[in-house]
Amino acid sequence: MRHHRRLFRKIVLFFFSIPVLLFIFSPILWLFLASFSTQVELFTIPPHWIPHHPTLQNYLDIFFPNLAASTVPRTFAISLLNSIKIASVVTIICIFFGSLAAYALVRIPFKFNRSIQLGILATRMIPEVSLILPLFIIASSLQLINKPIVLIITYMSFALPYAIWMMAAFFQTVPVELEEAARLDGCSRLGILFRVVMPISVPGLVSTAMFVFLLAWDEFFYALIFTSTLASKTAPVAIAEFVGRYSVNITGMMAAGVLAALPPMILAFIFQRYIVSGMTAGAVKG
Amino acid sequence: MCRSTLLFIIMSVITNIFSKKRRTLRQQDARIALWLVAPSLVVILGVTLWPIFSSFILSFFHAPAGINQARTFVGLGNYIEMLNDQGFWETIGRTLYFTVASVVLNLTLGLLVAQLIQSHPWGWKFIRFSLIIPWAVPTIVNGAMWRWIYSGDFGALNGVLMQFGLIRHYIPWLTLPNLAMPLVILADTWHTMPLIALILQAALAALPEELDEAAAVDGANAWQRFVKIRLPLLRPAILVALIIRTVEAFRVFDIVYIITSGGPASKTITITFLTYLYSFPYGKQGTGAALSIMISIVTMIFAIAYIRILYRPEENQ
Amino acid sequence: MRTMNKILVGVITLILVFSLVGCGPKNTGPVTIHILTQDQAGMKPAEIDQIARDFEAANPDIKVVMEYVGYDYIHDKIVTGMAANPPAYDASMIDVIWPDEFIKNGYLLDVTDRVTPEMKSGIFPASWNGVTRNGKVYGMPWLMDTKYFMYNQEMLTAAGFNAPPKTWEELLTQAAAIKAKKLAEFPIVWSWNQKEGVVCDFTVLLYGNGGTFLDASGKPAFNNEKGVEVLTWMKQTIDDGLTNPTSISADEMAVETDFLAGKSAFAVNWLFQYADSNKADMSQIVGKAALAAMPVFAAGSAAGIKGSSVDGSSSFAIMATTPYPDQVWKFLTYLTSNEVQIKFSAEMLPIWQADFQGSALTTLIAANPTNPITVPAFLAQFPYANERPTVPYYNEASAALQLAIQEALTNLKTPQQALDEAAAKWVELAK
């Protein structure tokens, strides 16, 4: 009887997964197929769901830039690398310093705890659009324009507040008993953080890391204003260039979009295994 | 600037190291806490403090863009001008509409998807992995893609509906004033729901199973277990998700700009878009600054409200 | 305490890194000038880069760094760039609608004294309009463009017409016939979305009806009966099913897409659409597109209006606060010089009148397969390119007009009501 109930449950759940998967995949499938299409075929009615004359030209233009007709695909590969560099550095530093701060704010009662929490959250309230002019003036006087470091630092200031809040929430769910037990065993504060709290919160940390990475990955306006030379521009800025004043290389843009979505996906795939739901249960029992 | 910063840091570090009085555990704890928080604070405040401050000051001035342009102090003039402007209130209304719809959709869908994944149906790992895809697509591409899907002449939405016989003629979706915003909300939700789902799923994954099992033994069904046991424990994660989504939704800009450019008839212009318009194309930086301060105040109120309602420190199990 | 020290070291290093980042030695050597220009306008970036390299070879003490951005972002980059001192850009391409705003902002350098008489007389007078205000010149003309009337020859003939329409009223007759014969469901498509494009189209139609944006005293005149007629006509064409309703959310790119896919018979657009119509990987109507003089309204024609279009040119301006005006001017004159322009006349039409005369004209026409069509079309249409209002608050004024037109087209307000509100806004802005 129990077996049947479990089977029934599995089937019902699978049934619910289908709309979810449809919701996730249908737009992206369109994107993917469009990237293998020629411009002229994209604009046919009724739509060719699968291109009748698929072409790799859009991707070839990006991978073999010297053969491309327009320079825009040429610059794209470099911009992808820039984005990877910047997003990775931002993520690593944010997770490291952010987890330190998050732990302190959640577990250590001290005088300024609340005000710091609210304060760093408050810095995120103001729209980035208003901060850009003063920041540009500062960056320009420090001669940091068109250098990746300016984006790294700026993105860190954007991402840290969220990262701290997110990691704080995950640290909170770690049972206090565990930490007290470790304390009794003679662990220092930092030891507790690195040896007890963080390992248990790995799912949360990975989620936070993905959030930070994608925040840096996706950011457009600051990247546009601060970096526009070939050597320094990021992927979103390069993609925006597929939209010229007079013509949109829409199939090229779709191909670039697919490629721009790949690095985060690859990272997510690699780090999937670190999100293991059974870890907590083991820790509490043990 | 460089040298004086260095000097200051070195001095304060030295004084700290050499003032080793006996401290209570609590005081030691407090100092450790400050050091742990310090690097993040330095970055956050170092970058944003001056710009936020200068924006705040600017909001009290009439500040036309340009070199050697006179800045006249107008006190609350910019604020009053905006509060008296009908366009401003219409924009606030639209933005609130977007925010409420987005938060409700995101959190509901996110929670459902999170629970779905957590229940480990067949292929749950694949579902969780797929969630990253809408999120990973850059906003620009996402906007262009949805603009394409909604295209009145060639779009996939029309194509699908026509193929299933649901419509007879192609519909020019993005030209309908009352439909444009919901369409943008849909496009935005597709992109942002994964983050909420993943946050909630990670939190669900960290919940201890025994409580749930005990409740099941006590006779509680799945729904009761979900609402009475899991949801309360998820409070911190839900709080985070709510704050992030509300703040981001209230400040939405990029996707609107790309899909509709604010049209039709300004029906999709949101408050941050308006701030951008005043600060850049219209060259009225004082007004733009005033708008941003107002946005910050509203989002801060949201955040504090959430915290008041949901925040319970150190919840013991 | 050991972990504490580790943190201390970490924090100090971090702060050190940040504060030292700006303490580098300053650059010495040849002068470097930064020029901002539009991606995909006129010549390809690779070609402009080549021109820059050629210039550097002839002028070893000047280094030219070109930056390419999409059109939508140039204005913002200029504004932010000028906030810094020295400015991020020494020169930039500017659209024809920006000089008034930029001059008021103090961004543009007065180059009246640098313009030689040969330049003055040699370059199209109409191009100087875009950069001259109150007798002072603020930039070098670069890319001349106007909107053209394009039609699908095959559809026209199939509907039984052997000549394109001369008036907008005639256009509707032809469109109705094309629609009745089921050659196109919506024969006409426009760029009427809430961006500058709708104002461009409105300019074409308004002046073609004998209307103007401002009257002689500078007050808004577009809400008089001529303007209201135009807006009502625009709306009527949608209601009658002749203009594609997607025009309300279409920009110039969407117009091209429709036209090139064979979905419309008539499309008003910038010159690029014609060249693209003959590219097999983009167009399903290769060889079928044709250019004609922009129609006018019957009332306008009766009032003596012979032609009407809108000026969409761009020019290069020197930023007022640049430390290197002379070097920039040298480069700009090289960039716009006759020799350079002739070399690339396949990509864009030269600004020098002499290239359109005599044997030079023959060479020009031979330079590019589409030139035999586009050059005469340009010579015929450009003289009638109307300017949009040359006011410093243009962006905000245009936004008000865009909103008004959209409200009328989506039935939220009547054309008179919408235009009156926009006119009131213009009066307010002019204060």
Chain C partners of B19 at a C-beta cutoff of 8 Å? none
Lowest model confidence (mean pLDDT) among A10-19, B58-67, C198-207, C322-331: A10-19
Q: Mean pLDDT in chain C? A: 90
- Mean pLDDT for A1-30 is 82
The answer on pLDDT for B59 being more than 70 is yes
Task: Give yes or no for residue A65 having a pLDDT over 70.
Answer: no
Which of the given ranges, A190-204, B2-16, C228-242, has the highest pLDDT on average? C228-242
- C248 shares contact with chain B (CB less than 8 Å): yes
What is the rounded distance in angstroms from the CA atom of residue C213 to the CA atom of residue C206?
A: 8
Q: Would you place residue A118 in the very low, low, confident or very high pLDDT band (cuts 50, 70, 90)?
A: confident
pLDDT per position as a tens digit, C184-212: 999 999 999 999 999 999 999 999 999 99
Over residues C239-247, the mean pLDDT reads: 96
Residues of A with Cβ-Cβ distance to C21 under 8 angstroms:
142, 144, 149
Q: How many percent of chain B have pLDDT more than 70?
A: 90
pLDDT above 70 coverage of chain A, percent: 88
Question: Tens digits of per-residue pLDDT, B203-241?
Answer: 887 777 777 777 777 777 777 777 777 788 888 888 888
Task: Give DSSP secondary structure letters for C74-106.
Answer: HHHHHHHHHHSSS-S-SEEEEETTSHHHHHHHT
Question: CB pairs below 8 Å between A and C: how many?
Answer: 105
Range from A108-122, C71-85, C251-265 carrying the lowest mean pLDDT: A108-122
Check residue C341 and give its pLDDT. Answer: 87
| CA distance linking residue B112 with residue B118, whole number of Å | 10
Q: What is the pLDDT of residue C150?
A: 96
Question: What per-residue confidence (pLDDT) applies to B168?
Answer: 87
**pLDDT class for B21, splitting at 50, 70, 90?**
low
Mean pLDDT of A198-202: 82
Span C333-364, pLDDT tens digits: 999 998 888 888 777 888 898 888 888 888 88
**Is A247 in contact with C71 (Cβ distance < 8 A)?**
no
Interface touch C70/A244, C-beta < 8 Å: yes
Chain C residues closer than 8 Å to A248 by CB: 253
User: Which segment of B288-297, C101-110, C354-363 scores lowest on mean pLDDT?
Assistant: C354-363
| CA C371/CA C348 separation, integer angstroms | 10
Amino acid letter for position A280: T
Q: What single-letter DSSP state applies at residue B207?
A: S
Determine the pLDDT at residue B16. 58
- Residue C104 contacts B, CB cutoff 8 Å: yes
Distance between alpha carbon A12 and the CA centroid of its chain, in Å? 32
Please report, as a single letter, which amino acid is at residue C144: M
Residue B1 pLDDT more than 70? no
Look at residue C8 and tell me whether its pLDDT is greater than 60: no
What integer pLDDT is reported at residue C192 of this predicted model? 96
3-state secondary structure of C291: strand
B108: which 2 tokens? 């509901």
pLDDT score at A205: 86
Q: Is any Cβ of chain B less than 8 angstroms from the Cβ of C261? A: yes
Per DSSP (E only), the strands in C121-196 are: 132-133, 136-137, 140-143, 148-152, 188-189
How high is the ipTM of this complex? 0.87
**Cβ–Cβ gap B67/C76 under 8 Å:** no
**For residues A14-19, average pLDDT:** 85
B6 with C4: Cβ contact below 8 A: no
Interface check C15 vs B, CB under 8 A: yes
Provide φ and ψ at B121, rounded to 5°.
-70, 175
Section A163-168 average pLDDT: 88
Q: Does the pLDDT at position B291 exceed 90?
A: yes
Helix runs in chain B, H state only: 2-17, 25-58, 77-83, 86-118, 124-136, 139-149, 156-163, 177-206, 209-217, 222-224, 231-233, 235-250, 254-259, 271-279, 285-310
- What pTM did the predictor assign? 0.89
- Reported as a single tens digit per residue, the pLDDT across C283-308 is 899 999 999 999 999 999 999 999 99
CA dist A220 → A246, B187, C166 (Å): 21, 18, 46
More confident residue, B183 or C344: B183
Report pLDDT for A58.
80
Can you tell me the mean pLDDT for A244-269?
Answer: 82
Pick the residue of C5, C19, C401 with the most B CBs within 10 A to test the interface with B by mutation.
C19
* CA dihedral for B253, B256, B258, B263, sign (positive or negative): negative
Q: Is B50 on the interface with C (CB under 8 A)?
A: no
Mean pLDDT of all residues in C75-99: 93
CB contact under 8 A, B280 and C8: no
How high is the pLDDT of residue C124?
Answer: 87
- Nearest neighbour of A131 by CB, restricted to B40, B48, B314: B48
pLDDT in tens, C224-235: 999 999 999 999
Does the distance separating the beta carbons of C261 and A246 come in below 8 Å? no
Interface of B with C in 67-86 (CB under 8 A): 67-69
Q: What are the CB-based long-range contacts (under 8 Å, 24+) for A26-29? A: A27/B134, A27/B145, A27/B146, A27/B149, A27/B190, A28/B133, A28/B134, A28/B137
Mean pLDDT lowest among A71-80, A171-180, B99-108, C403-412: A71-80
pLDDT value of residue B192: 94
Asked if residue B23 has pLDDT above 90, the reply is no
Question: Would the pLDDT of A30 be above 80?
Answer: yes
pLDDT reading at B242 higher than 50: yes
Query: From the CA of C334, how many Å to the nearest CA of chain B?
Result: 28
Phi/psi region, residue B252 (left: phi>0; alpha: psi -120 to 50; beta: rest), is beta
Tokens of A118: 């609210």
Q: How confident is the model at residue A34 (pLDDT cuts 50, 70, 90)?
A: confident
Confidence of residue B13 (pLDDT cuts 50, 70, 90): low
Whether residue B46 lies within 8 A of chain C, CB to CB, comes out as yes
Q: How far is CA C239 from the centre of its chain?
A: 29
The whole-angstrom distance between residue A102's C-alpha and the CA centroid of its chain comes to 20
| Pairing label, strands C31-38, C62-69 | parallel
Mean pLDDT of A141-149: 86
**Is the CB of residue C127 less than 8 Å from the CB of residue C350?**
no
Name the neighbours of C, counting chains with at least 3 Cβ pairs within 8 A: A, B
Burial class (CB in 10 A: 0-12, 13-18, 19+), C117: exposed
**pLDDT tens profile C381-419:** 998 999 999 999 999 999 999 999 999 999 999 999 999
CB neighbour class for A88 (10 Å; exposed up to 12, middle 13-18, buried from 19) = middle
CA torsion angle C260 C264 C268 C274 (round to 10): 30
Q: Is B9 on the interface with C (CB under 8 A)?
A: yes
What is the Rg, in whole angstroms, of the alpha carbon atoms belonging to chain C? 25
| Nearest CB to C76; choose among B43, B177, B280 | B280
Model confidence pLDDT, tens digit, residues A272-283: 766 544 333 333
pLDDT score of B206:
74
Give the C-alpha separation, B250 to B246, whole Å.
6
B219/C123 Cα distance (integer angstroms): 89
User: Touching check for C257 and chain A: CB below 8 Å?
Assistant: yes
Output the pLDDT for position A285. 31
pLDDT above 60 for C16: no
Strand-pair partners of C316: C93, C140
Q: Which of C19, C105, C193 sits opposite B261 (nearest CB)?
A: C193
Q: What percent of chain C has pLDDT over 70?
A: 93
Look up tokens 């129990």; give the residue. Answer: A2
CA distance A187 to B227: 37
Average of pLDDT values for A78-93?
A: 93
State which amino acid sits at residue B100.
Answer: V
Indicate the pLDDT class of residue C151, thresholds 50, 70 and 90: very high
pLDDT band at C28 (very low <50, low <70, confident <90, very high): low
Instruction: Check residue B74 and give its pLDDT.
Output: 92
Tens of pLDDT along B249-268?
Answer: 999 998 998 899 888 999 99
Interface partners of chain A (CB pairs < 8 Å, 3 or more) are: B, C
Most confident of A92-106, A193-207, A242-256: A92-106
Mean pLDDT for chain A overall: 82
pLDDT higher than 60, residue B289? yes
Q: How many CB pairs under 8 A join B and C?
A: 128
Smallest Cα distance from B14 to chain A, Å: 22
Q: Are B116 and B222 in contact (CB under 8 A)?
A: no
> Is pLDDT above 90 for C34?
yes
- Are B36 and A21 an interchain contact pair (Cβ–Cβ within 8 Å)? no
pLDDT of residue A108: 83
pLDDT single digits (tens) B101-149 = 999 999 999 999 998 888 888 888 888 888 888 988 888 889 989 998 9
